[in-house]
Structure 1
Amino acid sequence: MGAPVIGAALELLRSPRATAALTTTGAGLVAIAFTLQQVIGWPGYLAALIVLTLLLVASLIARRDEIDWHWAILPISLLAYLGWAGLSLLWSEYQRVTLISFSYLVLVTFVGVFIGLSRDTIQVIRSFGDVLRAVLLVSLVLEVLSGIIFDAPLAVLNIHGELAEGGPISGLVSTRNQLGLLAAIAVVTFAIEWRTRSVTRYVAIPSLALAAGTIAFTRSPVVGMVTVVLLLAGAALYGIRRLPEERRQFAQYAILAALALFAVLAWVFRAPIIALFNATGELEFRLKLWQRVLDFVPVHWLEGWGWIGIWNSASPPYSGLTPTGGRPHDSALNAVVDLWLQVGAVGVFLFLAVVGLAFVRSWLLAGRRRSVVHTWPALVLVALITVSVAESSILTEFGWLLFVICAVKASAELSWRSALSPRPERPEPLPHE
């Protein structure tokens, strides 16, 4: 009886519907991690994630003959970064917390790797489109209930009931910046769904309106910055894709060089830029926090204090950096500053390497490939990198999941190792597939 049951289960896991369901479940589980942690607690959430991971492993085993493992090349830079974060357990000042936090990081990474290996880009977009629609819609409903109908905060989900005053709102994801980031990525996702006719206009238009409205009601300067950068990046990609093929590569490298120059100029003129965007005191608060964090960096500047991901207020030095009153935060609100504290200069270097490689590969693919679906990873990475200036979202949970998927896709499609192992051109999925 045992063998037939196992065989039937594996056959079920081989089906495209099961793979699609696991992809959507994985994306949704990580997207609403905060809500699940608040409702069922960390043990319950981790148990759900572990069960999902076991199902993903079983699915990969069942589909091992279908997946083109020659194409499934994980980025060496990503593995090196994860390896260093894991090694930090050896010198961590809080080894038990590092072990738990790194295990959580590995679980989320595996979900991202499964999605990247098992689904074409258009299928990933469809799954994330469904997840983001649901998250934004439920977030808005809860905000309406809290801020208008009952006029009372929903403290367990950190919803303050301020929708009637025009926001800010935070929905299912704890903070307005995180909700705004999801909404900005949703705009890109919904627009590509519409362009590829994955959904009808009767779904696409309300979805875009929902995402745009969410961005507006977050009232977040950080999300405003991300939105502007996304619009500029989208316009640049649109222009590149309309150029003759022989001129595209030059235009791509020129834009990448311009981006590097812009980053240098932004650093040089950071003082007036800070003054310009500091209307609500957001940057002033962050500057003070960064200075406090950097005071601890020299103690372990090369190797870091140990990986922790989301800060644990009971572990030093985070116990002295997490306020008991005032504005709460569970990170350094800057990815590089956060990493420098946790995994040192080596970790920062490895992280910047994997981010740089993933972004350049994704950007080049977005300009070269015919299908518009290839612009999704590039624009998602633009959003994640931009928000990293003021948040550490890219390091953990949903931001990290998105990053791993984009990195895996970019590495599989455009890897330096492909030059050492030539392989046939991989067919692109049709928009309607």
Structure 2
Amino acid sequence: MTDRARPPQVPAAISAVFSSPRFSATLTHLILGLAFATHLLRSLMGWPGLLGALACLVALATASLIARRRSIEWHGILPVSILVFLIWCALSVLWSGYAGRTVLGIGYQLTFAYLAIYVALVRDTIQIVRSTGDVLRVLLGLSIALEVLSGLLLDLPIAFLGVQGNIAELGPIQGVFGSRNVLGLVSLIAGVSFLVELRSRSVRPGRAAASIALATLGVLLTHSPVFVVVASAVAIAALALYWLRRTPPENRWLLQLSLLGTVLVTTLLVFIGRASIIDLLNAGSEFETRSTLWFEMWRLVELHPLEGWGWAGSWPQDVSPYGWLDFVTRTEHTSALNAFLDVYFQVGLVGFLSFLTLVTLAFIRSWLLASNKRPVVYVWSPLVLVALLVTSAAESTVLVESGWLLLLICSVKAAQGQSWRRQLKPSPRIHLDG
């Protein structure tokens, strides 16, 4: 009688599969691979195929979390800053003039957020770095191979991917990522991951060297003036971290303040001399396109300054005001070409401040961890965040898909080591809170 009253149990063998480290590692590779290859998958399978793949990953991640529920500390999983931003974006459906598109945009955003949280909870930072390196080696290699096929072997564009075959002229190329700026960002993130793999001795030196050469080739062949600035910022941040990590702990606070002051002064000088810098980089045409769009957006922001127009993520061109912006600028846009202005436009001042808090806390926490922790793997998060945030001045990549996924992974991992809430609930288990 007692046996009949017991609910059916999940077979131990299935539970063991979903809770195994190998399953989590494989699923992490799939999640990162899909996030970076969304343009490729949409080109091959369309939106239904991409959404179907996302649904499968969500189901597998949920099964894995359930199987591992006893080994995960569920108290305060997310940093508060992430929760506030996500909740405000979700609330924007109440005043959005395109509620259906807002619901779809929020669902897409939450899906990648859920997958990012899964990766951050079940994998260590070095495991995430290794998975990112494995995925980007494949995608960058595929990109170069397709560019060679298109530009040198066939001498024909691959239209459905947007590959023009410009590699014979040494670029610009875009590979499987849809634009040269996305390829540049992916190549930079790959380069950071490959260098961390090399310094942490996670891969063989020959493989690491070949991977770094591949990432460098990807950056150079984009011919993007944006990534001259981004690559310089990442290199300067890497040198600053190297200096900090070799400075005695009692002197680091003074060096941190000096670096902060230098960054503020440099930012001010760059803003004052932006016209000369744009001319030097020969980026006038790109900046003119952006400035025209930004001017029109600022005019529309004044109509809804506090709450914004409503979250959409990637812009839907068939609804107002996005269709109007395309009409005025005579160019079809999928974003504001500036992540911070994009957030301000879509979810207003409240959303902008919550997003600014999210990225600021993520960066400060990860920077402090990298400055004070001996393992070299801790430098990965702040350098990836530098690449994402500097790119955000010219692209909105950090708000969707791979950029959004990496931002949340870095934010959650940084919060695990630098959270004020860790002191509120002592536990013998590892705290995964923010």
Alignment match, 2:241 = 237
CA displacement at 1:6 relative to structure 2: 4.5
Report matched runs for 1:384-423 at 5 Å. 384-421=388-425
- Structure 1 residue 43 corresponds to structure 2 residue 9: no
- Structure 1 residue 164 corresponds to structure 2 residue 163: no
1:262-293 CA deviation, whole Å, 9 max, x = no partner? 33333344333333334452112111111122
1:310-362 CA deviation, whole Å, 9 max, x = no partner? 11111111112236997653111001111111111111111001110110111
The alignment partner of 2:172 has SS state of: coil
Match of 1:83 among 73, 79, 87: 87
Q: TM-score scaled by structure 2?
A: 0.93
Change (3 A) 1:325 1:171: farther
Contact kept? 1:74, 1:412, Cα under 8 Å: no
1:194-250 CA deviation, whole Å, 9 max, x = no partner? 111111012101100000011111111111111111110000000000011211233
Residues of 1 paired with 2:321 and 2:407: CA distance? 27
Amino acid aligned to 2:32: A
Residues of 2 paired with 1:375 and 1:424: CA distance? 27
Alignment match, 1:112 = 116
1:377-416 CA deviation, whole Å, 9 max, x = no partner? 0100000010001000111110000000000011111012
Alignment match, 1:132 = 136
Match of 2:320 among 310, 313, 316: 316
The percent identity for this pair of structures is 45
Alignment match, 2:28 = 23
Q: TM-score scaled by structure 1?
A: 0.94
For structure 1, the 5+ residue unaligned runs are 428-433
Alignment match, 1:342 = 346
The alignment partner of 2:71 has SS state of: coil
CA displacement at 1:144 relative to structure 2: 0.7
Match of 1:364 among 340, 362, 368: 368
Residues of 1 paired with 2:158 and 2:331: CA distance? 17
Match of 1:223 among 201, 220, 227: 227
Report matched runs for 1:173-212 at 5 Å. 173-212=177-216
Change (3 A) 1:325 1:80: closer
1:58-105 CA deviation, whole Å, 9 max, x = no partner? 1011001122445x6311011100100000011011000110111000
CA displacement at 1:193 relative to structure 2: 0.4
Change (3 A) 1:179 1:324: farther
Change (3 A) 1:317 1:324: closer
CA RMSD of aligned residues (A): 2.0
Contact kept? 1:293, 1:341, Cα under 8 Å: yes
CA displacement at 1:251 relative to structure 2: 1.7
Contact kept? 1:333, 1:392, Cα under 8 Å: yes
Alignment match, 1:431 = none
1:103-157 CA deviation, whole Å, 9 max, x = no partner? 0000000111111111110000000000111110001111111111111111111
- Structure 1 residue 285 corresponds to structure 2 residue 289: yes
Q: How many pairs are equivalent?
A: 425
Contact kept? 1:73, 1:411, Cα under 8 Å: no
